[in-house]
Amino acid sequence: MYKDFGIGLLLFNSFITIIGWTIFYMSVKIAAKLNANRLERAELNSTLKQAQLNTLKGQINPHFMFNSLNNIRGLMLEDVEKSRDMLTKLSEMLRYSLTKNDVNAIALEEELEMVDNYIALSKIQFENRLSFTKEIQKDTLDIQIPPMIIQLLVENAAKHGISNLKSGGSIKLITARNGESLVIKVVNTGKLMIAQSSTQLGLKNIKQRLRLLYGTSASFSLKEENEKVVATINIPLK
């Protein structure tokens, strides 16, 4: 009797052990699968994020290129040497746009060169109606920022601000460190008026790129202060 009880207890313990190992094995398999799925989703999200960023970069500014070519064509009748210089600047902007399409950050100093090219080309159209000044802190020049984002701010100021003023106006670019953030400001003469027909593509572009790259750590605002429009971007310093 005791022998049968011992055999039964041994079988019961073996059964429990087998059940325990089976549960452990299944738990490990399920955990591994969940982890693999999590990594796959993370990789997919990263791929989709990069694709969305590249799409947003591709939205920047085709009309400006066409307008610049037309303006340069008209300038050729007046000043061939200046026209040649403007074609070089336009070429540099096109190359910049193409080569930076697959990167998410560049030095602020490099972006400023393209902004200067943009202003030089814009002045063919605006002439003396456009005044451009910069207030750049030296310790911001090497900070990494999204490519073409300052140019987009300046372009928005020229297109929706200065172009609507008969006497023209000014655009001022400011960069400064503020604690753990880089502050970029573009201030232009005019009033904050967004036409109902406007798609606000440029503004949406800026907001979406900042969200994709920095989440909630970056911010963008656009407001009117003392008859000037102030666009401000805050980017966290990494």
188 closest CA partner among 168, 226, 225, 161:
161
Residues 147 and 209 in one domain: yes
Residues 119 and 74 in one domain: yes
- Report the DSSP beta bridge partners of residue 234: 183, 219
Which one of 42, 58, 74 terminates a domain? Answer: 58
Residues 76 and 190 in one domain: yes
Number of domains in the chain: 2
Q: At what angle do helices 80-99 and 62-75 cross, to 10 degrees?
A: 160
Report the percentage of the chain scoring pLDDT > 70. 73
Residues 21 and 100 in one domain: no
Residues 114 and 208 in one domain: yes
Q: Which positions ≥6 away from 209 have C-beta within 8 Å?
A: 53, 56, 57, 146, 149
Residues 52 and 70 in one domain: no
- Among 4-8, 31-35, 62-66, 149-153, whose mean pLDDT is lowest? 4-8
SS (H, E, C) 26-80: HHHHHHHHHHHHHHHHHHHHHHHHHHHHHHHHHCCCHHHHHHHHHHHHHHCCCCH
Are the beta carbons of 114 and 151 closer than 8 angstroms?
yes
Residues 76 and 168 in one domain: yes
Residues 54 and 1 in one domain: yes
**0.85 surpassed by pTM:** no
Taking the C-alpha atoms of residue 32 and residue 40, their distance in angstroms, rounded to an integer, is 12
Residues 9 and 121 in one domain: no
Amino acid present at 67: N
Residues 131 and 166 in one domain: yes
Tokens 């969200």 -> residue: 211
Give the domain extent around 19.
1-58
Are the beta carbons of 221 and 231 closer than 8 angstroms?
yes
Which tens digit of pLDDT belongs to each residue from 179-227?
899 999 999 988 877 654 454 666 777 888 888 888 889 999 999 888 8
Tokens representing residue 177 in the block: 């460190």
Which tens digit of pLDDT belongs to each residue from 72-121?
888 888 888 888 888 888 888 878 877 776 777 889 999 999 999 999 98
Taking the C-alpha atoms of residue 215 and residue 219, their distance in angstroms, rounded to an integer, is 9
